[in-house]
Chain A
């Protein structure tokens, strides 16, 4: 068994809406091991996106601890958290979120601008990432000229180009037709199996969740059940 990559202990997340407190996550514990592909399922409002944001370092828990790759991220400053994200997290969004004015390769290069790599090294990394997602021939295209599936592939290339510790995907097939969605799931699965990338994927789609090695269900801010593939 591989070592734990992610350890979430007794995490709570409480939002304030006026005088009312809304508990989104309650005493949540979770361990994800290196190389796992985890699907996070659950109804809307169950807290899965909040958990994903906490794992990504985009949000902080109200209490509890989050340790990823040996580092406690719940106590990092905003600046340190941003730098940590740049090093450790690759984010795949539901609506791709590519910068429309940049070509596919420039979009993929974006996270590399935060590293100390030279221009030629950045180009090499971008070419590799685009090759992995099968889009080398569309490198110069802007998002507007790419299909939804292609745009999501560019999004995945952007997520993996820095070789992150963890890939987080928020409904990556939610905006795609079944065929394109399957292509994306194939790609995520290949990244997990062939490149041993740990992936946490939020999805509503049971068909998509079947691709994961482990499926977690969330209800009312807690993990309710777990299924191994």
Chain B
């Protein structure tokens, strides 16, 4: 601690240069936090996907329907605990297409399959009894100011109701929360039987199946068994683990993780050069002073530690500010106004950020600190 004042005093030399270096580090870490949040948003389902869940869809594409009769056949396959159907609705709310995902499901089985969607028991019971009932995630319920009991009109895009017009009206019976921060709470789920009874076409068809398996270790065998069962039928299936399904879905927009890593690598390489140059310059400018310190009795190791501490301090000040501002910016909300289901700065990325801060400080300080350490006091004192 007694060297703290000495280390801190060096920042007074070129205040503007120090401030600009710190600022560049701040910007890099704000970007880091923001990109981490974006990457998490796109891979959100992947990290929370259940190891015991499979998705069965049409082999050609997700928009091709499957027969509802498959459910019973799938449930007969050894190792399958349950199969439940789901269909994409794709409606428009308040003239906004894709405002949130609307999916028709079978309430009881769906809630068993997805225990991470926490629905209060009484509300869950109501849903089971209410044909027009729907449940919404906390995030969208708050975004649109919905309360339980509200009637929510959604315009159909391709599943028009038999009753005429385009509007389907749902009764909001429950608001669910996520078990963890990573759980998507922007979904809107309603009953599949209500959809079946009231749609113009598509009776007897469904979008895909959620499968719960008894033993995740058997996943590979069950995937093959399901696809084999429907091979050479008019509706062949493609079965995959939920993780692979969600990953594939996210990657439709490109490999977001690879893109963010590429951007961050470029940013950090630049920052490495900026901060490294600042430190190298700072040491070059005070060779004579380092010589004086050595003449006074500072050892090579003490001089090395002090230069390294200076570099770490710059990195930590910039990094801490950057990560804090980044966290605040992410906490302020999804910049797309709701297109990203989860927008958080995960703790794991915060830890990676802290490690990056330390690495930045060490790497940028290493070379100048080494030079300072090797400096010969007599030579250094000759330099003015």
Q: Which A residues form the contact surface with B (CB < 8 A)?
A: 53, 56, 58-59, 78-79, 82-87, 89, 91, 93, 95, 97, 99-102, 106, 110-111, 113-114, 119, 158
State whether the Cβ of B10 lies closer than 8 Å to any Cβ in chain A. Answer: yes
**Sample (24) of A-B pairs whose CB atoms are under 8 Å apart:** A53-B378, A58-B294, A58-B378, A59-B378, A78-B300, A82-B297, A82-B299, A83-B297, A83-B299, A85-B295, A85-B296, A86-B298, A87-B297, A93-B292, A99-B9, A102-B6, A102-B9, A106-B5, A106-B6, A110-B6, A111-B297, A113-B2, A114-B298, A114-B302
A97 to chain B, nearest CB (A): 4
A119-B289 contact given A85-B295, A114-B297, CB 8 Å threshold: no
Please report which residues of chain B, range 104-140, place their CB below 8 angstroms from some CB of chain A when the two chains form the complex: none
Please report which residues of chain B, range 1-38, place their CB below 8 angstroms from some CB of chain A when the two chains form the complex: 2-3, 5-6, 9-10, 12-13
Which residues of A sit under 8 angstroms from B297, Cβ to Cβ? 82-87, 89, 111, 114
Q: When the two chains form their complex, are residues A58 and B295 in contact, meaning their CB atoms are under 8 A apart?
A: yes
Chain B residue, CB-CB nearest to A164: B297
CA distance A106 to B298 in the complex (A): 15
State whether the Cβ of B63 lies closer than 8 Å to any Cβ in chain A. Answer: no
State whether the Cβ of B381 lies closer than 8 Å to any Cβ in chain A. Answer: yes
A93-B381 contact given A79-B299, A82-B300, A85-B295, CB 8 Å threshold: yes
State whether the Cβ of B152 lies closer than 8 Å to any Cβ in chain A. Answer: no
A106 to chain B, nearest CB (A): 7
Chain B residue, CB-CB nearest to A170: B381
Chain A residue, CB-CB nearest to B300: A78
Question: Which of B296, B301, B378 lies in contact with A110, CB distance below 8 A?
Answer: B296
Please report which residues of chain B, range 176-215, place their CB below 8 angstroms from some CB of chain A when the two chains form the complex: none
Chain B residue, CB-CB nearest to A122: B2
Question: Which of A79, A85, A95, A113 lies in contact with B6, CB distance below 8 A?
Answer: A113
Q: When the two chains form their complex, are residues A56 and B301 in contact, meaning their CB atoms are under 8 A apart?
A: no
Number of B residues with CB within 8 Å of any CB on chain A? 25
Chain B residue, CB-CB nearest to A94: B381
Which residues of A sit under 8 angstroms from B377, Cβ to Cβ? 58
Q: When the two chains form their complex, are residues A111 and B296 in contact, meaning their CB atoms are under 8 A apart?
A: yes
Pick the most buried of B292, B296, B298: most chain A CB atoms within 10 A of its CB. B296
Chain A residue, CB-CB nearest to B286: A99
Which residues of A sit under 8 angstroms from B283, Cβ to Cβ? none
State whether the Cβ of B364 lies closer than 8 Å to any Cβ in chain A. Answer: no
Q: When the two chains form their complex, are residues A114 and B296 in contact, meaning their CB atoms are under 8 A apart?
A: yes
Which residues of B sit under 8 angstroms from A89, Cβ to Cβ? 297
Which residues of A sit under 8 angstroms from B298, Cβ to Cβ? 82, 86, 114
Chain B residue, CB-CB nearest to A56: B295
Which residues of A sit under 8 angstroms from B299, Cβ to Cβ? 78-79, 82-83
CA distance A179 to B9 in the complex (A): 33
Q: Is the interface of B mostly helix, strand, loop or mixed?
A: helix
CA distance A100 to B302 in the complex (A): 20
Chain A residue, CB-CB nearest to B293: A110
Which residues of B sit under 8 angstroms from A86, Cβ to Cβ? 296-298
CA distance A29 to B3 in the complex (A): 40
State whether the Cβ of B384 lies closer than 8 Å to any Cβ in chain A. Answer: yes
CA distance A209 to B2 in the complex (A): 39
Which residues of B sit under 8 angstroms from A113, Cβ to Cβ? 2-3, 6
A164 to chain B, nearest CB (A): 10
State whether the Cβ of B288 lies closer than 8 Å to any Cβ in chain A. Answer: yes
CA distance A205 to B20 in the complex (A): 48
Chain B residue, CB-CB nearest to A99: B289
CA distance A139 to B199 in the complex (A): 89
B86 to chain A, nearest CB (A): 67
CA distance A100 to B294 in the complex (A): 16
A155 to chain B, nearest CB (A): 10
Interface string of B289-329 (1 = CB under 8 A from A): 10011111111111000000000000000000000000000
Chain B residue, CB-CB nearest to A86: B297
A95-B293 contact given A59-B378, A101-B13, A113-B2, CB 8 Å threshold: no
Chain B residue, CB-CB nearest to A54: B378
Q: When the two chains form their complex, are residues A91 and B295 in contact, meaning their CB atoms are under 8 A apart?
A: yes
A61 to chain B, nearest CB (A): 13
A45 to chain B, nearest CB (A): 14
Chain B residue, CB-CB nearest to A85: B297
CA distance A79 to B288 in the complex (A): 19
Question: Which of B2, B292, B294, B295 lies in contact with A99, CB distance below 8 A?
Answer: B292
CA distance A9 to B298 in the complex (A): 28
Which residues of B sit under 8 angstroms from A102, Cβ to Cβ? 6, 9
Chain B residue, CB-CB nearest to A78: B300
CA distance A117 to B206 in the complex (A): 80
A58 to chain B, nearest CB (A): 5
Which residues of A sit under 8 angstroms from B293, Cβ to Cβ? 110
A171 to chain B, nearest CB (A): 12
A69 to chain B, nearest CB (A): 15
B12 to chain A, nearest CB (A): 5
Chain A residue, CB-CB nearest to B5: A106
Which residues of A sit under 8 angstroms from B295, Cβ to Cβ? 56, 58, 85, 91
